[in-house]
Amino acid sequence: MASLTVLAPVAGTVVATADIDDPVFSAGLVGPGTAVEPDDDGEVVAPIAGRIVKMHPHAFVVQHDGGQAVLVHLGIDTVQLGGEGFAVRVAEGDVVAAGDVLVSWDPAAVRDGGRSAVCPVVALEASPDVVTSLAEPGTRVERGAELLAWS
C-alpha cells in the first residue's frame, strides 16, 4: 500500500481526535485521524483522490485506488438534520480528485442549532501506527492543506 497524503476537507483549526465531543470519534473506534473546527466558509473538498463509496449530506467516504478509505463527518449529530442545510455535489460511485468540492454546508447554522460543527477526518480501519498528523492541534489549516500522512 502506497503512502497517502490526506488533505484538510475544510479550512479551520485542527482539533485533536481525543477532544472531539463524540465517543466513537474521540476513542478512534472507526480509525485514527484528526478533526478540523471549520471556518464559516462551507465548501468541503475531497481529502484524497478516489471513488465516493458512501455519500450522505453530513458525511462521506472516499476510497483511494490503493484501498485506503477516508471518512469525513461534517459536524457532530448532524445526521439529525436530515440533510437540511447541506448541498451534495457528487454521488456514490463518482471518481473524484483530491480537492474537488463534494458538499456545501453552513457550519455557522450547525453551531446556531446547538450542534458541534467539528469535522472528524478518519483513516477508516487503519492502525494508529500508520497514520501521522501533519498539522498540530490548535493550528489553522487552509482547505486542501496536508493534514495526515497514511503510510
Question: Is pLDDT of 1 > 70?
Answer: no
pLDDT at 11: 98
- Residue-wise pLDDT for 113-128, tens only, equals 999 999 999 999 999 9
- Residue-wise pLDDT for 40-71, tens only, equals 989 999 999 999 999 999 999 999 999 999 99
pTM: 0.97
Class of domain 4-150 as given by CATH: mainly beta
Question: Is pLDDT of 2 > 70?
Answer: no
Which residues are known to be catalytic?
Answer: 73
pLDDT at 39: 96
- Residue-wise pLDDT for 84-124, tens only, equals 999 999 999 999 999 999 999 999 999 999 999 999 999 99
Cα gap 43→138, rounded to integer Å: 21
